[in-house]
């Protein structure tokens, strides 16, 4: 049997469309919204309007590139949440429209689960149980997948996400949004031991990133009083030191989760998984602990629709379809399971 699915991701500031055929990704298109840079962060209302302008054309383009027609589709999938409600609504309404117009099933996908499922796109797939550290602009989570598509949330941040700590830290340092990749770039030329920052400790497998952010704020304020221009002159060292602390917090909890649950198959996902320092630390730890490590290629780390497509493929096989009275959910936990009977 042939299974062609059109997948849509519109949870934040990226409009993304992908096509998957029999579990193989045919294409993965992304239209990034540049409009937010001027505001130093995502403006939800502008994001929704941009999605609305882009989504139809992007879907047409994906079909055209793949040599498929609307009638060739067997299902349409969309991110149900978590995300910005207005942005989710655009993708959700569009997908519902496609489902009704073509008489094909609608599949709802949990964005956090999809980040983890991105690991199942390449040929080399993680063995189970699989422990995944999902690190993005909105989330920091440790999830254990004991069976394919069964997600157990082991720990998460109690306040800011690590991506947020990168972005807000970058803003304090005068860098443009999103600052995470820039901190990564400056850190590569700096001394990670140059400056100490204080971090908040969380019990168990939870994280907290608000303390280190405040520590950076006071550090900048104090240094600039005595030495104006200090930040500019020491940017690589500050970025490297700040990043070292953030990554150490992630690695500590990842290691604890792996030993507690005796897992050797380990991955990272989400936008911050693109961080070169984190990739390096993970590779080193893998050697030391004999972990089998999985790091998605860049295009599958940040928000994309291929990860929605692969998750939808497995949901299609399980007959996990949504009712037409389904709604997007702005805050959706990584272990949230949609009951098909409820729609």
Binding site for ligand KG4 (CB under 6 A): 12, 136-138, 163, 166-167, 178, 180-181, 184, 270-272, 274-275, 302-303
Under rule CB under 5 A, residue 164 binds Zn ion: no
Of the pair 75, 268, the CB lying nearest ligand KG4 is at 268
Q: What share of the chain is helix, strand, coil (3-state, %, to 5)?
A: 45, 20, 35
Least Cβ distance, residue 30 to ligand KG4 (angstroms): 10
Residue 320 is a binding residue for Zn ion (CB under 5 A):
no
Q: At closest approach, how far in Å is the CB of 302 from ligand KG4?
A: 3
> What are the residues whose beta carbons fall under 8 Å from the beta carbon of 238, sequence distance 6 or more?
173, 190, 194, 195, 216, 219, 231
CB of 33 vs Zn ion, minimal distance in Å: 14
254-313: contacts with Zn ion (CB under 5 A) = 303
Number of residues that bind Zn ion (CB under 5 A): 2
Residue 82 or 211: the one with the smaller Cβ distance to Zn ion is: 82
Q: What is the DSSP letter of 176?
A: P
Q: Minimum distance between the CB of residue 295 and Zn ion, rounded to whole angstroms?
A: 16
Task: Return the residue nearest ligand KG4 (CB atom).
Answer: 271
- Nearest-CA neighbor of 70 among 46, 43, 36, 94? 94
Rounded-to-integer distance, Cα 226 and Cα 161, Å: 32
Task: Name the binder of 10 from Zn ion, ligand KG4, none, CB < 5-8 A by kind.
Answer: none
- Containing 28, the helix (H) or strand (E) segment is strand 24-32
| Residue span binding Zn ion (CB under 5 A) among the ranges 43-51, 129-137, 159-167, 181-189 | 129-137
For CA atoms 120, 302, 149, 127, the dihedral sign is positive
Contact status, residue 195 vs residue 297, Cβ threshold 8 Å: no
Minimum Å gap between C-beta 62 and ligand KG4 is 19
**Adjacent-strand bridge partners of 265:** 130, 292
Based on the shown chain and the rule CB under 5 A, indicate whether residue 136 belongs to the binding site for Zn ion: yes
Residue pair 33/14 in contact by the 8 Å Cβ criterion: yes
Cβ-based nearer residue to Zn ion, 255 or 335: 335
Q: Which does 178 bind (CB under 5 to 8 A by kind): Zn ion, ligand KG4, none?
A: ligand KG4
Six token digits for residue 307:
């990860």
C-beta nearest to Zn ion: residue: 136
Distance between CA atoms of residues 255 and 12, nearest Å: 30
Q: How far is the CB of 42 from ligand KG4 (least distance, A)?
A: 9
**In degrees rounded to 5, what are phi and psi of residue 198?**
-90, 140
């Amino acid at each position: 049997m042939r299974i062609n699915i059109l997948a849509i991701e519109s949870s934040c500031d990226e409009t993304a469309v992908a096509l998957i055929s029999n579990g193989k990704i045919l294409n993965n298109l992304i239209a990034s919204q540049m409009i937010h840079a001027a505001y130093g962060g995502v403006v939800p209302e502008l994001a929704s309007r941009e999605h609305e302008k882009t989504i139809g054309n992007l879907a047409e383009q994906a079909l055209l590139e793949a040599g498929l027609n609307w009638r060739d589709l067997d299902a349409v999938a969309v991110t149900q949440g978590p995300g910005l409600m207005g942005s989710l609504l655009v993708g959700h309404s569009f997908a519902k429209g496609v489902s009704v117009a073509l008489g094909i099933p609608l599949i709802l996908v949990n964005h956090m689960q999809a980040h983890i499922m991105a690991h199942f796109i390449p040929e080399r797939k993680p063995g189970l149980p699989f422990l995944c550290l999902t690190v993005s602009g909105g989330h920091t989570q440790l999830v254990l997948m004991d069976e394919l598509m069964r997600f157990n949330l082991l720990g998460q941040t109690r306040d800011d996400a690590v991506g947020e700590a990168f972005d807000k830290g970058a803003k304090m340092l005068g860098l443009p949004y999103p600052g995470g990749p820039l901190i990564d770039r400056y850190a590569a030329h700096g001394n990670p031991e140059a400056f100490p920052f204080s971090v908040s400790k969380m019990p168990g497998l939870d994280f907290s990133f608000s303390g280190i952010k405040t520590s950076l704020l006071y550090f900048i304020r104090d240094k600039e009083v005595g030495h104006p221009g200090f930040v500019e002159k020491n940017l690589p060292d500050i970025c490297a030191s700040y990043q070292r602390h953030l990554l150490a917090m992630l690695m500590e909890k990842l290691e604890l989760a792996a030993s507690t649950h005796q897992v050797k198959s380990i991955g990272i996902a989400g936008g911050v998984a693109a961080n070169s320092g984190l990739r390096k630390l993970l590779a080193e730890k893998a050697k030391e602990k004999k972990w089998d490590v999985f790091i998605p290629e860049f295009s599958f780390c940040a928000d994309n629709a291929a990860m929605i497509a692969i998750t939808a493929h497995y949901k299609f096989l399980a007959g996990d379809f949504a009712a037409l009275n389904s709604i997007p959910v702005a805050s959706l936990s990584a272990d949230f399971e949609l009951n098909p009977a409820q729609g």
